[in-house]
Every structure is written in C-alpha cells, then in structure tokens.
Structure 1
Amino acid sequence: MSAVAATETQSPPPAVPFAQALRFWLRLGFISFGGPAGQIAIMHRELVEQRRWISERRFLHSLNYCMLLPGPEAQQLATYIGWLMHRTWGGVAAGALFVLPSLFILIALSWVYLRFGDVPLVAGLFYGIKPAVAAIVLHAVWRIGSRTLRSPRRTPALWAIALLSFLAIAVLGIPFPWVVLGAALAGWAGARWAPGQFSIGGAHGGPAAGKTWGPALIDDDTPTPPHARFSRARLGTVVVAGAVLWAAPMGLLVAAQGAQGTLAQMGWFFTKAALLTFGGAYAVLPYVYQGAVEHFQWLTGPQMIDGLALGETTPGPLIMVVAFVGFVGGWAKQVLGPEALFLGAALAACVATWFTFLPSFLFILAGGPLVESTHGQLKFTAPLTAITAAVVGVIATLALFFLAHIARPQGGGGVDLAALGLALLAAVALFRFKAGVIPVILGCALAGLALRLLGWA
C-alpha cells in the first residue's frame, strides 16, 4: 500500500494515556544511544513512523525550536513533545526520564572508575579509550563545521568567527563565556549589515523529510492545545516556579556548607554551563574543563577525558558527563566527609545534573509558545548562527588539548606513538568507514588493553 493510500485509509491513533506515555519515555531513557543525531532518529522512528503520536511536520517544527536553544536538543525535544501531549507534567516526565537512567548508570560507573581505575586491567582499557575520545572530538569538529560553515552560500564571516574563537581560547586563553558573547554580538551586527553571511540553511534537514506514515494523533492541522498557547499568567507562573526550584536547593547548599562550599560552587558553575551549551555538549566541554579542571580542580585532565568516554558509552545526552565531573569532584573534595565518600560523590553528581538540566525544562515550559513565533526571523537566528560557528573553533581547541595529552601523557619529553596510532585508527574508522562511537570506543579499549599486556605501551 502506498503512503498516500495509507493516509487515506488509516485513522489517527487513539489518545495516549499518561501511563502509556510514561512507559515509552522510560524505555527511551535506556535506549537513547548515538548522540543527538541518533537520539533524534530513534524518536522519529518511534513517535512519527511507528506510533504516529506526532506528524512529521510538527516533529520537525519542535526540533527546529529546540535547535535554537542552549542545552541538549534531543532531551529538550522529548520534553517538548511530552509537554505538547500531556501538559506540564508530561514534559517534566519525558525530560526527566530521558536523563535519570544515565544519571544512575554514570554514578555506578564513576564509583567503579575511582575504586578500581588503578587496576592494570582497567588502566589498560582506559589507555585505549583516551585516543578514541580524541578522534571522536575531531570528528565532532568536522561534523559541526560541515553543517555550519559549508552552506550553499560562501560564508567567510562564519569562517572568521570560527578561527578567531579558536585563537581566543587556544592562544589568548579568553574564557568561553566571552567568546560566546563576542560571537553573538557579531551575529547581531551581521544580521543588520551583512545578512547574506548569516542566513544559512537549518542544521537539520529532517529525518526522512517529505514522507508520510498516515494521520497522527498530533497532526499537521491539529489545533494548538490551550496549554501550549501563550499566556502572560502562565509564563509568570513557570518563571516563578523555576526561580524557586533553582533558589531553594541553592539556598540549602549555601546554608549547609557556605557560598564557597564545593556543592554550592557546583550549583552555580553548572547553571552557567547550562546557559552556554549552544551547539551541543562538545561546545560547553571547554568551559567545563576550564572551570572544573583548571579553576576548581575537582578532577584532572586525564579524568576529564575518561569521563567523556563514559558519557559516550551510556544512554542519554552527552552533557551527562557533568554527572561524572560532579561525582569525581564530590569524592575528591569529600563533601560529606571522608567516612561518606560515595554518598557525598553521588550527591554532588545529582547537584551537577539538577542545575545543568533545570534551565532546559524552563526553556520549553516557559518559552515554547513565545519563541515559536520568532522562528525563522533573521534578527533572532543570526546571533545563534554566529555562536554555532564559534563553537567549531572552541571544539577544535578541545581536540588539540586531548591530542596533546595522549601524545605526552606524563608531560615528559617522549611521544607516545602507540596512543597516537590508536587515535589515527579511530579517526579512520569514524571518517572513512562511518563507524559508530560505541564500537570505536570498545575497539580502542580492547586494543589499549592488549598493548599494555604486551608491554608495548
């Protein structure tokens, strides 16, 4: 039966009970591997093609909105669709269940890492994982750069922003927030005086664009539900609730340990990080590295690389690496005392996760009805396009750091040719053979273990 015939004969699926939606969102939280692209593809297959809970056009409209926001777009997309279907609690449930499985898994893996990371078997595995992570970050530079800088029109302004952002961090050491602000100002000015440089195509053409799978529960012509229409009173309620949900835990942390306590510092730091994640998790990792490693010294550079590898191999958004950062920082700083290392570290992981993801929920619940009306207006999208260009340069600095670390892991004069060889093989697998992230990490981990056991590394 053709797609047109199917559309003519099928009826929209029945209304989805909240409990049924909950079961789906929980399952999604355990199978959401593959980074943002893979997670969005899973949701498209499940929600658009198979279940027909939302139409192709409405799905892409939601995705385009989430792409304009800082934060993990796949998690925000789940929140948006859950909110559209079942109001506020539907959005909260969808977004939370997208994150919670990953949080619990990372807490467990982080404990194993800290307790057994020096065991030769585990150390050998992580020796191979580090070069894989370096190659993955290089691949992210190419992937985001090709999407942002290689538009149908030549965009020398965006290339210049990317190059200047790289030099600003790698050479001048300018903090990441100032780089983002400078790029946003350049985009704002460009929208007025050089609009052709910033009016590029969307980041996502959409999975299987143009196809139809029959009438959907939320179809193209389904009226916007009342709760998704803009209301000043509702906006005010969400903003006040969000302020309370941020201030109450922050107040408790300050009251318990003071404003300079580790947990309070984590809350404030990860709030700022959440507002800077334009372009995905890789974009904010340099900022997290600057703060968590260099300034607060919650963990070391090698531990940051290992945490990124763990984040890549668990379900959920990659920005969940903040849970690892929080856990290791809470363990190192003994936030609940030396007799409660695990509890303190787990609490720190939860603090990092809460303050990282709270803004994402607020952007959807408060801003959805308001921001949708501005989608496609150049004065609104040009600063975001410029920030995404800056992200390319920023991630390139992260790749440079990772490569430098694996080349000379102990800071000595020798070069680790085995590690660089693994990074090269991982890059070939990603670029040439389009291998997935998880097979690359697992393959490099086993190769690193073999090199260690043979005494070649």
Structure 2
Amino acid sequence: MTSSSPEDASRSSPLATSGQAQNAFGHNITFAEAVRVWLRVAMLSFGGPAGQIAVMHRILVDEKQWVSESRFLHALNYCMVLPGPEAQQLATYLGWLLHGVKGGLVAGTLFVLPGFVAILGLSLLYAGFQEASLVQALFFGIKAAVLAVVIQAVVRIAQRALKNRVMVTLAALAFVAIFFFAVPFPLVIATAALVGLIGRHLDPKRFVVIKGHTTPAEGERAIDAMMANGTGHHTEASRGRTLKVLGIWLPLWFVPLIALALSLGMDNVFTQIGLFFSKLAVVTFGGAYSVLAYMAQEAVQNHGWLAPGEMLDGLGMAESTPGPLIQVVQFVGFMGAFRDSGGLDPFTAGVLASILATWVTFIPCFLWIFLGAPYVEKLRGNQAVSAALSAVTAAVVGVMLNLAIWFAVHVAFAEVQTSKAWGIQWLAPQWDSVQLASVVLALGAFVAILRFKIGMLPVLFTSALLGMLWHWL
C-alpha cells in the first residue's frame, strides 16, 4: 500500500485549484477561472432552458464539482418560479454564490452576450438581405446534438429527484398537465409546492427528498464548503442590503424608460419597445414559449413591428444560437425600430432598439436574484421548504420532459402543429416532413455522449459540421 502526501490530497480535492490558497470568499476558485467557465457555459448553451440547465449541471456539478446536487436544485427551483429565463437566472445565482455581485453580473451577462451578438448579426443580415436560411444551415446539426444533452439532463435530474413513487407521480402529473392540458407553468409549480407542504405532515420520508443540507461528500464542493464554514458573508440577508439592491436596480430599469418617455414621447417606437418588453419581463413565467403567442400578437397586429410569419424566423434565430430563447425580443425590437426609425438610419435604429429590448428584459432578472437569493439561501435546512422544493423539483422533471419532447419533435420534423380536441392538446407532426438526417445526427450524438462519454464540445462541433454539409449538399 502506498501513502499519499498532503499535497496529493490537495490536488485531488474539488476545493483545490492548482494549490491556490483560499480567497476572501472562502474557496480557491479564482475569479478569472470562473469567468472562463461562465464563458464556456454561455458558448454551449443551446437548446432552450432544458439544454442550458443540462450544460450547467454537467459542467458545474459533474465536471468542476463546484456545487452540490442539492444546492444546484435548490437554486434551480427558485429560478423556476421567477419570471424570466430560468437558465440565465440560475447562472446569475451560482455566479453570485461564488464571487458575490460581480460574480453574478459576469455569469448572467456572459450567458446573454454570445446570443446577443449572434442575433444582432443575424438581424442585420435578415433586415438587409432576408437570408434567414443561413441560420438553418449553420445550426442544423447543433440542434440535433443539443437534443442528446437535453435528454441526458432529464435522465440525470430524474435519477436524483424521483426517489420514490410519490415523486414519480408528481413528475408525471406535471408533465400531463403542461403537455396535454397547457396548464400555466406557475400554477403547476404552486400546486406542487402546496402538495409538498401538505405531504410533509402526512409522510415526511417520502416528501423530503431534496435535503436542506448537503451530504458529507457534497460538503467538499467549493460553494457548499464555503457556506458550511461560514465564510459566505456576501450571501447573508439584511434589510440594508435589500434596500441597497432596490436602490440600484430599480433606477437601472426605470430611469431609461422615463428618459425615453420625456424626451421622445409615449408614442415613439423606442418608448413603446421599452415599455412593452418591461411588461413582458414580469409575466414570462415558464420561459419564452409561455408568452410567444402574446408577443407575436402584439408585435404583428397591434404595433406592426413584424410581418406575419417573421416571429417564427426570430424564434429560429433564438433557438439556433446560444443563450435564452427570450432573446427573441432583440429581433422583435430590431425589426420594429428598423421599420420606424424616426429619422435615424434604419440599421442604427435597429441596433439601438436591440440593446434597449435586451436591457429591459434582463435587468429585472438581476434584480430578482440579488434581491431574493439571500433569503432563499437562508431557508435551506427548513423541513417545510425542503418538502415543498422536493415536490417542485419532481414537477420540474415533468416540465423538462415536456420541453425535451417538444424539442425532439421539432428536431425530427420540419412541420409540427398543435392539435386540440375535448379540452386536450398534443403535438401533431407532419409525418412526411420527417428530417432523417437530423434524426440520425441526434442518435449519433446521443450514443457519443451517453455511451462513449465523448465531450460535449467535440460532439457539438462534429454535429454542426455534418449538419452544414448535409444542408448544403
């Protein structure tokens, strides 16, 4: 038997990063290293919320081992009940846990930035040359590869969250409610939380699955060890801190809107874009899909920002680029100002409107996290909260399964309709529109990731290359 030195133990511990000493936050993950990881997460965040959460889970929980499964799910559950893109908010939350406000700002901003740049370029191309087909050629294969990542995420989270028949039943009911009956997402989550609170009194062993505290093995994770050691002072909740957050983020949100209204008037396109997407930012429970119909109706019929059918082109851009699907607001804002530039160069007006729409959509996301996360962390360990979150997590598995199936159908078929009868709805693909190349790519990516454990980046790159070759042949 060979003995190991303290240096060897340090190198093998997930808390150690090349022998570095702990920083002011109580762990040894440098801010520079975190920035590189958040940029990697952002560049790989394709496939909507399910795929994006899968990327973060794979990198932060499994690969880097910076955060435990229970704390990851605890943060995810909070983000799932907020308005706005839950994956971007989850990145902000975890970045905040690691390095405070600057960590949350970097994680949340980087999550949006690649998609913003990509959609801005595609919007310029679309407005100038109507070459939206370039999007399909570029990302045809990526969609197929992301499907494998999404399915892997559903399986992994289900294995950890669905520990008994009660949790499996909750997940199944959540899936049926959303997939077949279009029950509003907030109602599904609220009902699951209520069931968990009641179940805690009836059968606590079955309902407290997501523990408030980490296990000894999980306690070695950087974030969890920091919190256990009492060095995460930046996460402590206080009235003064709450007032400071409100005093910073509310003006960042509303002062630009007031300035636009006073200088340009309420009927100006920029003022209308700012007000509309500010309102949208507080009603987007359940992600972008929950408000697409409303957004399309307002943008096409009431404001005239888009022509009929262009909303789908914008959604194609958002689905095919990294970042949140709600980033489609950028395309809507761009086209609205491009067509009503008010004396400005149309392209200049479109770029400014893109920035404005993105600003008022995501500033509230930072507000929700910096305001509420300290109180959410304070509630860890409360058995009632643990029971509610256990039920919510089970419901989230059903929600993610719904998204995975929605994504899979749209990857496999070029034409998909939603059929309704007797109060039930379901996806009805046009069977003659099956995309065999996409199905083959998805199966190949699935085998590569799950069977041969090939890294996500090589799989995405290979799938994108093969997809482009097929699309252009």
Query: TM-score with structure 1 length normalisation?
Result: 0.71
Cα offset for 1:245? 4.8
> 1:395 corresponds to which letter in structure 2?
M
User: Does the residue aligned with 2:181 lie in a helix, a strand or coil?
Assistant: coil
Residue matched to 1:330:
333
Change beyond 3 A, Cα 1:80–1:399: closer
Residue matched to 2:366:
357
Change beyond 3 A, Cα 1:354–1:15: closer
Counterpart pick for 2:433 among 390, 415, 428: 415
**Does the 8 Å CA contact 1:331/1:342 hold for their aligned counterparts?**
yes
Residue matched to 2:448:
429
What's the CA shift string for 1:67-100, capped at 9, x where partnerless?
55325434312213333xxxxxxx2x22112233
Counterpart pick for 2:187 among 171, 175, 178: 178
What's the CA shift string for 1:238-295, capped at 9, x where partnerless?
456555555545656777557994432322323344xx5xxxxxx7455365655688
Residue matched to 2:60:
40
Q: Percent identity, aligned pairs only? A: 25
CA distance in 2, matches of 1:119, 1:296: 19
The yes-or-no answer on 1:130 pairing with 2:143 is yes
CA distance in 2, matches of 1:290, 1:376: 40
**Mapping of 1:51-450 within 5 angstroms?**
66-67=75-76, 69-70=78-79, 71=86, 72-83=89-100, 91=101, 93-114=102-123, 115=125, 118=131, 122-149=135-162, 151=163, 154=164, 156-202=165-211, 209=218, 221=229, 225=233, 230-239=237-246, 242-248=249-255, 257=266, 261-273=272-284, 284=287, 286-287=289-290, 292=295, 300=311, 303-304=314-315, 306-311=317-322, 318=323, 320-322=324-326, 324-334=327-337, 337-338=340-341, 339=346, 340-364=349-373, 368=374, 370-410=375-415, 414-416=432-434, 417-450=436-469
Cα offset for 1:380? 1.0
Task: Note the residue ranges of structure 2 that are not aligned, 5 or more in a row.
Answer: 11-18, 45-54, 80-85, 301-305, 417-429
Change beyond 3 A, Cα 1:251–1:440: farther
> 1:396 corresponds to which letter in structure 2?
L
> 2:315 corresponds to which letter in structure 1?
M
User: Does the residue aligned with 2:60 lie in a helix, a strand or coil?
Assistant: helix
Cα offset for 1:391? 1.5
User: Does the residue aligned with 1:171 lie in a helix, a strand or coil?
Assistant: helix
CA distance in 1, matches of 2:460, 2:20: 44
Cα offset for 1:113? 2.8
> 1:137 corresponds to which letter in structure 2?
V
CA distance in 2, matches of 1:65, 1:169: 22
> 2:439 corresponds to which letter in structure 1?
L
CA distance in 1, matches of 2:216, 2:318: 30
Residue matched to 1:87:
none
Change beyond 3 A, Cα 1:272–1:239: same
CA distance in 1, matches of 2:108, 2:160: 27
Worse overlay, 124-133 or 60-69:
60-69
CA distance in 2, matches of 1:438, 1:396: 23
User: Does the residue aligned with 2:183 lie in a helix, a strand or coil?
Assistant: coil
**Does the 8 Å CA contact 1:32/1:42 hold for their aligned counterparts?**
no
Cα offset for 1:107? 2.1
Task: Note the residue ranges of structure 1 that are not aligned, 5 or more in a row.
Answer: 49-55, 84-90, 277-282, 312-317
Cα offset for 1:202? 4.8
Residue matched to 2:39:
30
Worse overlay, 241-250 or 431-440:
241-250
Residue matched to 2:422:
none
CA distance in 2, matches of 1:162, 1:252: 46
**Does the 8 Å CA contact 2:209/2:386 hold for their aligned counterparts?**
no
Change beyond 3 A, Cα 1:3–1:296: farther
CA distance in 1, matches of 2:408, 2:8: 54
User: Does the residue aligned with 1:350 lie in a helix, a strand or coil?
Assistant: helix
CA distance in 2, matches of 1:288, 1:439: 34
How large is the RMSD of aligned CA atoms in angstroms? 4.2
CA distance in 2, matches of 1:203, 1:284: 26
User: Does the residue aligned with 1:147 lie in a helix, a strand or coil?
Assistant: helix
What's the CA shift string for 1:389-441, capped at 9, x where partnerless?
11122222222222332333145551322222222222222332333443333
Query: TM-score with structure 2 length normalisation?
Result: 0.69
**Does the 8 Å CA contact 1:44/1:207 hold for their aligned counterparts?**
no
Cα offset for 1:379? 0.6
Change beyond 3 A, Cα 1:232–1:195: same
